[in-house]
Amino acid sequence: MHAGSVGRVTRIQLVDDHALVRAGLEATRAICTADRHAPALTALTDRERETLLLLARGRSNAEIARELFVGEATVKTHVSNVLLKLGIRDRIHAVIWAYEHAVVAPGG
């Protein structure tokens, strides 16, 4: 295996990670129809829902930026919007909110 192969594996992994984020986004859309807090989730844009999902999985702003192919400043804006729209005060409460409202599941 030569050095170029490693780069290809990394790109494939990024595509796989992005597909995982998209799958999570689809799951949050499905939850919106059943959850009693649907108005809060539907108030979020797709990118904000993706950000919430990654936040809940413990990702840092830098990691979220890499996975969503955006800059860290954009991630900070998305995080701020999520907090404001959900009426929560910090990242920890965003994670708690996501688990309490089945946006993510333990071990998921």
The answer to whether 31 and 101 are in contact (CB under 8 A) is yes
- Which of 27 and 91 is assigned the larger pLDDT? 91
Query: Would you state the pLDDT for residue 24?
Result: 65
Query: Would you state the pLDDT for residue 15?
Result: 53
Query: Would you state the pLDDT for residue 88?
Result: 94
Q: State the DSSP string of 14-48.
A: HHHHHHHHHHHHHHHHHHHHH-TTHHHHHTS-HHH
The answer to whether 76 and 61 are in contact (CB under 8 A) is yes
Q: List the Cα angle 87/69/89 in 5-degree steps.
A: 15
Give pLDDT tens digits for 83-107: 999 999 999 999 999 998 888 888 7
Give pLDDT tens digits for 43-85: 999 999 999 999 999 999 999 999 999 999 999 999 999 999 9
Greatest Cα pair distance, the chain, in angstroms, is 53
For residue 22, pLDDT beyond 50? yes
